[in-house]
Amino acid sequence: MSKKEVLKPEIKTSKIEPPKSVFLEYFESFTVTLIMALFGMTFVIQAVTVPTGSMQNTILVGDYLLVNKFVFNAGGNPLPFLPQREIERGDIIVFKYPGNKLHPEADAMRNPPIIPYKINYVKRVIGLPGETVEFKENNVYINGKLLPEHRIEGDSPNGNSELASLSALKTREFEEHQPGESKYRVYYSRRTIDAVDAGQDVVRTNFEYGVAGKRMVVPPNSFFVMGDSRDNSEDSRVWGFVPRELIVGRAMFVYWSCDRYASQGDFFGCITNPRLDRIGTLIK
């Protein structure tokens, strides 16, 4: 190489990409958001509505709930870094209705008919696997011992607790002699309270499981559940136990609520008749 020859540095050029269009940026953001939402709705949370008054007054007809699908251990040993635990007594769970095994015709006769494993139910866990459950005289007995519960009279003024708003319900405590502490409240009608006080038998013709004279042992990996509105709830006393695999998750809080009585069940009426004081209410 001669002294006059000079090596020129090699200049690398990069291809300049044209800027993304506004439409493409919005589309990518929407796609990512949609994927995250679908993941969350599939594995983490789920939205459900409450169509009946079986959990009145804890949960009202017209409440829309968010459900934690991740909190319960699905069996086996949970991973230590995951916020999971076993199902406990007192938990309010959402589950697929298991169907009435003794009287399947009862499901078919409902209007509209109830299809097992299709509709979501919301109840409170009362009996755990292996425990003996008996409900009698407005009390619950677990393994022969009285279960302490905060019992309250909760009749609606028009006699229909499914249509009453919370502010219209008459409530009062009764018989606060139960030992121990309860983390939740349950509600009974004046009719059954008076009947028990008078020493009369409370006739509940459709109760088949875990009632007076019919003690039941909860099977493995199953749970005995009851509604908080004890005289207005079709629950494990009617159709039996809830298998673990049918449990969707734990009810967390109310994200929307409307007065079904005022809205007459209409969708737009539900929007224009919100119960603002219920929104954000924790379920416990």
Q: Are 29 and 155 in contact (CB under 8 A)?
A: no
Residue 159: band (very low, low, confident or very high) from pLDDT cuts 50, 70, 90 = very low
pLDDT per position as a tens digit, 253-283:
999 888 876 666 666 667 778 888 899 999 9
Residue 6 has pLDDT above 70, yes or no: no
Is 3 a residue whose pLDDT tops 80?
A: no
Of 27-31, 47-51, 112-116, 120-124, the poorest mean pLDDT is in 27-31
**Looking at the predicted structure, is the pLDDT value of residue 183 above 70?**
yes
pLDDT band at 77 (very low <50, low <70, confident <90, very high): low
| pLDDT tens column, 203-231 | 777 899 998 888 999 999 999 999 999 99
Asked whether residue 237 carries a pLDDT value surpassing 80, the answer given is yes
Q: Where are the beta strands (DSSP E) in the chain?
A: 45-49, 63-68, 92-96, 120-127, 132-136, 139-142, 145-146, 150-155, 170-173, 185-188, 216-217, 222-226, 242-243, 247-257
* More confident: 270 or 252: 252
**Domain ranges in the chain?**
44-272
Q: What is the mean pLDDT of residues 190-211?
A: 86
Please give the share of the chain, as a percent, with pLDDT higher than 90. 38
Q: What's the pTM? A: 0.78
Specify the pLDDT at position 36. Answer: 46
Given 2.40.50.140, 2.60.320.10, 2.60.40.10, 2.10.109.10, which CATH number is that of 44-272? 2.10.109.10
**Residue 178 carries which DSSP code?**
-
Residue 164 pLDDT = 44
Helix (H) or strand (E) holding 270: helix 267-272
Q: Which distant-in-sequence residues (6+ apart) come within 8 Å of 256 by Cβ?
A: 63, 64, 274, 279
Determine the pLDDT at residue 43. 45
Per-residue pLDDT, 88: 95
Could you tell me which residue, 142 or 177, shows the higher pLDDT? 142
Which pLDDT does position 25 carry in this prediction?
58
